[in-house]
Chains A and B, each alone.
Chain A
């Protein structure tokens, strides 16, 4: 089954404790992206990756890191989480964009709480 997976799905942690949220896709997509979703603000892009070893900042990159060593994986790293990073996180992937249409497929989400 074609899908984007994320782990963990739920995480409660404390301020300053480094954590990694994994994201993996099995659709051979070049493009991957991380979003956070907060009430009233919609989905905001954190980082994206056009292909292996190429990543760039989105709109809200502060406090996050990413890496793209393999095409299928795109982990999100919080080196020193803070309470304002409490949010619902989504990973998404799509084919190399071309033309007008390029659907992004979303993972199931990771609900993170930082105390």
Chain B
């Protein structure tokens, strides 16, 4: 079992819709969770961070965390073509020094 699992996609949504990206993880000791966005050929950039159960909103982005179910999600409201990218879920591994474990990413395609 991979430590961080994501559906590779592509997830295709129309412009203006809500995109829902999901991630499950196996490390029950993890406390911090991150969503990175990566455009094709570019480096990952952090868009959301969450450590408490529940929802965290930042503009059009909402991160959701459920530690009991070991589940993290990212919602993108009013999706735009510029949101088309690969979204990487990551957690700060409880057994390592500042170690991030990444999922393989979900490719999102927002079509006009």
Contacts and interface: CB of A to CB of B under 8 A. Distances in A.
Contacts of A100: 31-32, 51, 92
A86 B66 CA distance: 37
A102 B98 contact: yes
A34 interface: no
A96 to B, nearest CB: 8
Given A31-B98, A42-B88, A45-B100, A101 B43 contact: no
A106 interface: yes
A53 interface: no
- What interface size band does chain B fall in? 20 to 34
B91 to A, nearest CB: 11
Contacts of A103: 34, 46, 49
A102 B97 CA distance: 11
Interface string B43-82: 1111001010000000000000000000000000000000
Interface of A: 31, 35, 40-45, 48, 50, 56, 58, 90, 94, 97, 100-104, 106-109
